[in-house]
Structure 1
Amino acid sequence: MKAAALCIALSVFSGVTVQAQRPVTPGARTILLAHNAYPDHGKYEDRLDRAIATGVPFVVEEDLAWIDGKSLLIHGAKNASGEDPTLESYFFPKIKPLIEKALQERNKGNWPVVTLYLDIKNDPPEHLQAINAILDRYQDWLTTAVKTDDLSKQSPLRLRPMMVLVEDKQNDIKQKFFYDDLPVGGAIRVFGSVTKPAENPNHLPKQEYIDSLASVPPEQIVTGHADNYHRWWGLDWSYVEKGGEEHSNAWSAEKDARLKQFVRYGHKLGYLMSFYCLDGFTQDNNQGWEAEYNFGSPDAVMPRWKAAIHAKADFISSDDYEHLSHEIQQGQ
């Protein structure tokens, strides 16, 4: 095969060259991250259905809290009730038809079709053990990688229709549980993120702290390359734009340049780049979404969506699944 043809046939995911890896190569595709797609006390039961209806591939965020010996789909312990759903009662039955269809079609160029981002609200060992027990039952669905003898040695992904991500936070045990404790040669099936920076370490007033993030250079947040476990980077939009979603002003060329700076830098280090959470709703069309993620109107959020798509962000989080998905499809 001639060199030019070889370059087209092969793709690179942080040093790994195989055609099947292309969907999870940083910058290869931009996809919707469906924010908080689970019911909450009888409300929002259509969220996962809405995400599925946008079409594959997509990322879906499911919050998990360990409460009274159960892993529940819920934002936090204070919201718990006796009828909160679980991954097995709610999530897996709904996506089963998508996964089975993908397995039948074997179009690995589109795998993973569903990326499950588990936002684990509390992580005692028994919670992570319970999550692992659930994943045991869906092993054949899951994208994995072989654990190497050195964390920095990234092994190829063995693509399957689903990939599982978690966000690593300060002083948590996810890496130990999902990676460090595995034997060399074992299958990694949960992939972590750049460790989330400590929130407001200098105890500034809330808005002053949020405003300060827009001047933090990406090199100050992370210097290490993606490795065999850490494969993505989730960024609060406040790092891009002073004031964050709720207190921003007009989109500008300067902001666009900063967005591209973050994406280029993260991709150079080998990370899939994710931004959250970009909404643009008026009170008349608010579907129970959170004000802190709201730019205030569709016209205000649209240039941010377009800029993130154009910058080749890998995941863009929103509560407005339908309109963001449409923009992604139009922009690629």
Structure 2
Amino acid sequence: MGLGNYTLKRILLLIPVFIGVTAAVFLLLKLAPGDAVSALLPPRARDPQTVAELEARLGLDQPIYIQYLKWLGNALQGDLGRSFATRQPVTDMILSRLWPTIQISIIAFVVALFIAVPLGILSAVYKDGWVDHLSRVIAFTGISVPSFWLGIMVILVFALFWQNWFGESLIPAGGYVAPSEGLGDWLNAALPPGITLGVGFSAIVTRLTRSAMVEVLNEDYVRTARAKGVKESALILVHALRNALIPVVTIVGLQVGFLLNGAVVVEQVFQWPGIGRLLYQAVQTNDMPLIQGLVLFIAGVFVMMNLLVDLTYALLDPRIKYD
């Protein structure tokens, strides 16, 4: 079975997963406190006739499976309903906030890959040396520090305290600057939330890269290659790293989805108008269509990342059979 058929098979297997995800999103939010009638009607207007008319207009008087099928059918066409708070299409609201979140997610991803992976490799090569001990301290600190606390400290030190010390803040205290407004201004605004979001991600990738490299470097084929005189740099970067990347790819793929979850806190701290902050505002206002749309979108990102991880496995490891 070729790579094309393998890819098609993996995509077909995602169909029941996607249906299960949509059902869970729909039912869990139906069980949550609050309802559409309470969100749309003020208490003085909730007489039985008005409530019945609104429920009929929204389809809430129908069996729950009918409501789910209609919602799923609309969602497959890109229609996630309208926000209770703003009356705007949920799809448009998500798309308008997606680009800012992608910006800081890219920064977090780049920080993780270009710092965490080399640091993990060095820690494995110089196991139990000072580089290894230093990377452990950095990684454990990154894992342990909550992102909201780190974000607050970044703003306090580099915006408020820095201004008191030197008369001018090093970074803005919050807010969004589009890349079109100037690369320097954009980096000044986007790097603090991006790096804050990437600290925990980097720590996890560092520890996993180290563990995978230590295990691979102790394999027989690595010792054999070293005994045959293969250069150490080629041994590490060509022979060992490729096999060590397989578990790293798993965690990196899943962590890309978790970046959206972490963005809820980071974007609120830095007043960054992305997906995470939109979800926080939707929960505050009990905006059910918007919450459903955002949770479904984030779940869809996880599903797609799992697919990409499966396909990357097949490319990295020839031992994985397409059948």
Please confirm whether the aligned pair reaches a TM-score higher than 0.5, indicating the same fold: no
**Which is richer in strand?**
1
Greater C-alpha radius of gyration: 2
TM-score, length basis structure 2: 0.23
Higher relative contact order by CA 8 Å / sep ≥ 6: 1 or 2? 2
TM-score, length basis structure 1: 0.22
